[in-house]
């Protein structure tokens, strides 16, 4: 039976996940804050497998649901409609965008633990948070391809992580289980695995601005599972939150 990916948030990451899902033969139900009519163009581009709905409808329709909104909106996610579901959380904490969140600033919780607390009836898995939207789309490969990349995932529920791993596999990625949500800081901003490895080798000696420009211009370079394991293992916990 055709599976359905629900998406709450249909911006850079949500839109590309919907594209990958449709390519993989899944249905995609997209939603945002402004209403289904504002997603008409994106849905038309993705084609027959996509439709737009409200966040609660996308939650109900999804066999798995991805929540991919700015973290400041986490407490507006429809907890009742998401109850009982495996929910993939792609969100990262950027205080300049999201405002300061005291529990995150104190490293008392990870951002995904905050999301799990709000979505108490859901099984939250953090994934797709440590690759840019462009590289996510460009680096997807079929299972077994020699240049297939891996992505880290974290969660408290083993069965939900297995489901998330199946989704990653369908969409074009191997999965590396990095533990539970309390350890998901290992794939957050300012850690070795976060986004930059997928930009490939960049010349040494570049200034910060040029480095970022080259990184964002890069079409992406594959990062296999064993490299993800090394990078995650090298993470050291620092202050939470990235700089925009």
Ligand X SMILES: NC(=O)c1ccc[n+]([C@@H]2O[C@H](COP(=O)([O-])OP(=O)(O)OC[C@H]3O[C@@H](n4cnc5c(N)ncnc54)[C@H](OP(=O)(O)O)[C@@H]3O)[C@@H](O)[C@H]2O)c1
User: What radius of gyration do the chain's Cα atoms show?
Assistant: 17
Q: Which lies closer to ligand X via its Cβ, residue 158 or residue 213?
A: 213
For residues 240 and 92, is the Cβ–Cβ distance under 8 A? Answer: no
Question: Quick one: which H or E segment has residue 64?
Answer: strand 64-67
Q: Which lies closer to ligand X via its Cβ, residue 10 or residue 138?
A: 10
Least separation in angstroms between residue 205's CB and ligand X is 26
Residues that bind ligand X in the complex, under the rule CB under 6 A: 8-14, 31-34, 55, 68-71, 73, 76, 90-92, 129, 132-133
- Burial state string for 9-33 with b = 16 or more CB within 10 A and e = fewer than 16: bbeebbbbbbbbbbbbebbbbbbbe
Least separation in angstroms between residue 48's CB and ligand X is 21
Least separation in angstroms between residue 146's CB and ligand X is 25
User: How far is residue 196's CA from residue 200's CA, in Å, rounded to a whole number?
Assistant: 7
Least separation in angstroms between residue 1's CB and ligand X is 27
Least separation in angstroms between residue 242's CB and ligand X is 8
Q: Which lies closer to ligand X via its Cβ, residue 76 or residue 159?
A: 76
What CA–CA distances, in Å, run from 135 to 141, 194, 195?
12, 12, 9
β-strands 86-89, 4-8 pairing? unpaired
152 secondary structure, DSSP code:
E
Which residues make Cβ contacts (< 8 Å) with residue 209, sequence separation at least 6? none
Q: Is 177 exposed, middle or buried (0-12, 13-18, 19+ CB in 10 A)?
A: middle
Least separation in angstroms between residue 160's CB and ligand X is 19
Q: Which lies closer to ligand X via its Cβ, residue 36 or residue 158?
A: 36
Q: Which lies closer to ligand X via its Cβ, residue 40 or residue 76?
A: 76
Least separation in angstroms between residue 31's CB and ligand X is 6
What CA–CA distances, in Å, run from 173 to 32, 145, 231?
25, 10, 17
Q: Which lies closer to ligand X via its Cβ, residue 159 or residue 239?
A: 239
Residue of minimal Cβ distance to ligand X: 11
Q: Which lies closer to ligand X via its Cβ, residue 81 or residue 170?
A: 81
User: How far is residue 85's CA from residue 25's CA, in Å, rounded to a whole number?
Assistant: 21
């Amino acid at each position: 039976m055709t599976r359905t990916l629900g998406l709450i948030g249909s911006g850079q990451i949500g839109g590309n996940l919907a594209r990958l899902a449709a390519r993989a033969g899944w249905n995609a139900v997209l939603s945002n804050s402004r209403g289904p009519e504002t997603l008409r163009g994106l849905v038309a581009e993705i084609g027959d497998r996509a439709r737009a709905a409200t966040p609660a409808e996308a939650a109900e329709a999804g066999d798995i649901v991805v929540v991919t909104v700015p973290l400041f909106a986490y407490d507006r996610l429809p907890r009742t409609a998401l109850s009982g579901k495996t929910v993939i959380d792609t969100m990262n904490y950027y205080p300049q965008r999201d405002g300061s969140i005291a529990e995150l600033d104190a490293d008392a919780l990870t951002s995904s633990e905050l999301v799990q607390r709000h979505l108490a009836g859901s099984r939250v898995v953090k994934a797709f948070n440590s690759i840019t939207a462009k590289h996510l789309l460009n680096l997807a490969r079929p299972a077994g391809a020699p240049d297939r990349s891996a992505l880290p995932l974290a969660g408290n529920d083993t069965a939900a992580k297995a489901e998330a791993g199946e989704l990653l596999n369908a969409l074009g990625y191997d999965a590396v289980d990095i533990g539970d949500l309390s350890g998901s800081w290992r794939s957050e901003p300012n850690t070795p695995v976060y986004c930059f490895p997928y930009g490939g080798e960049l010349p040494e000696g570049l200034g910060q601005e040029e480095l970022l420009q080259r990184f964002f211009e890069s079409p992406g370079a594959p990062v296999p599972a064993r490299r993800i394991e090394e990078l995650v293992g090298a993470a050291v916990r620092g202050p939470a939150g990235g700089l925009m």
